[in-house]
Amino acid sequence: MIDEPFFPYQSLASDLLAFLPEDSTDGSHDLSHIHRVWINVRRLQEKEGGDLEALLAATILHDCVAVEKNSPLRAQASTLSAKKAASILERMSWSTSRIELVAHAVKTHSFSAGFEPRTLEAKILQDSDRLDAIGMVGVARCFYISGRMGSALYDFTNPEAVGREYQDKRFAIEHFHTKLLKLASGFQTAEGARVAAVRHARLNSFLDDFMEEIGAPGRTEL
């Protein structure tokens, strides 16, 4: 069936999903996030090529070790997930070379980890995951995560952080400046960069509208 969420590898997807943590309450890294990343992967792979089956495995397992955003282990999350992914695929009798292909993609997908993707599959996964952090979905995830962490929406006494550093752990809107508006310049594939430019423009538009509604001075588009 074409409407299967992880078509054309629904059977493999079902097997891999059984290994994901059951106790995670993070709605920004839930099954819907995995599915959105898969949609992005399919879109990029259609233009760029790459091993789609390996990409499916990497997509489902890229956050298979759950680490909260405010955890001191956050920068290690992708490495921990890569090790667990390799162990899972070994139990499923995947070849060493394909396990390494998936594990590398998982390890290098993370923005905070700072690893450089060397394979096409790793570049596609990194781009696909980052596409879910910009645009309107990125806006929704930003405020959702900030709410979970107990942040305020913005600093009403200084909403544009004039004369001080951005404090995105205290004010959700400042995460646009510390991360979200920086993401579009780091894409690895041509199709990923094209889609990112469209979503980056949406971020800028949202930020302009937000600042206008709270009575902040005009801002220069980034």
Contact assessment for residue 92 and residue 86, using Cβ atoms and an 8 Å cutoff: no
CATH topology of domain 133-222: Hypothetical protein af1432 (1.10.3210)
* pLDDT, averaged across the chain: 90
> Is the whole model's pTM more than 0.75, yes or no?
yes
Predicted confidence (pLDDT) per residue in 118-143, tens digit: 999 999 999 999 999 999 999 999 99
Distance (Å, whole) CA 111 – CA 107: 10
For 48, other C-beta atoms within 10 Å of its C-beta total 17
Nearest CA to 122 out of 82, 180, 178 is that of 82
Contact assessment for residue 72 and residue 22, using Cβ atoms and an 8 Å cutoff: no
Indicate the pLDDT class of residue 66, thresholds 50, 70 and 90.
Answer: confident
| Residue 10: DSSP 8-state | H
**Domain ranges (residues) in the chain:** 1-115, 133-222
Q: What is the DSSP string of 163-197?
A: TS---TTTBGGGHHHHTGGGGGGG--SHHHHHHHH
